[in-house]
Amino acid sequence: MRNEIFENQDQPQFTQATMAKTFMSNVFTYMTAALVISGIAAYMFGSSDLIFMLYTETGMSIFGWIVMLAPLGLVLLLGGKAQKFSYTTVLGIFVLFAVLIGMSLSSIFVIYTMSSIATTFMVTAGTFGVMAVLGYTTNTDLTKFGSILKMALIGLIIAMVVNWFMQSAMMDYVISGIGVLVFTGLTAYDTQKLKQIGSVVDANSEEGKKASIMGALNLYLDFINLFMFLLRFLGSRD
């Protein structure tokens, strides 16, 4: 009788843990697929004449500006309408987002050497992996930590806009250093938050699948931003 009681007490916790693992597995699958799509798109445009669709001799083309700004619009669209959209629609927007981000990042193949890009990607993957595991396994509540990081992110965006006009190389390095710290921390925070969501959501349901994609979007953005800030330090120019 005592064994049956203990088994019944452990069952909800076991179920939540299983749900969270399934959900997070889906999240990382979507995220990995998005990174692959972005990588292919970036390489296709950056290593061929397609790059001239985005850039001209005088700077970025109109199409280039559309490619650069469109992902922001898609993020806002998903953030406000994902619950109303079908899973197929959300997935389609997510794939389009990954393609556009890849296209907008294609210039790195012109600016930096292939070896330094590969090295930076490996460093980013290692850092991201460690922080994701930390966020998933830690028993410490990262909510307050996440709030601080979000405020730092707002300050970082403001500093980037200011430096866009100032064009200060020193400030650019400072911003990049802060960016690395912010997105390293956000990786752990977002992973923990998604684990909590996954413990109460059926990953195989329509809503669960859409939540998995939105979670993948958050982690994808953490990874891409971390990669780009690290590339400022580790990238070697041709």
Question: Residue 143 is which amino acid?
Answer: T
Helix pair angle (206-234, 169-198), 10° resolution: 160
Tens place of pLDDT for every residue, the chain, 238 residues?
444 443 444 445 558 888 889 999 999 999 999 999 999 999 999 888 888 888 887 788 999 899 999 999 999 999 888 889 999 999 999 999 999 999 999 999 988 999 999 999 999 999 999 999 999 999 999 988 888 999 999 999 999 999 988 888 899 999 999 999 999 999 999 999 999 999 998 888 999 999 999 999 999 999 999 999 999 999 888 6
Sequential DSSP letters for 193-222 = HHHHHHTTS-TTSHHHHHHHHHHHHHHHHH
pTM of the model: 0.89
DSSP letter string over 95-162? HHHHHHHHHHTTTHHHHB-HHHHHHHHHHHHHHHHHHHHHHHH--S--HHHHHHHHHHHHHHHHHHHH
Q: According to the model, what pLDDT value does residue 12 have?
A: 57
Strand residues in the chain grouped as ranges (E): 55-56, 59-60
74 vs 195: CA distance, rounded Å? 24
Amino acid symbol at 124: T
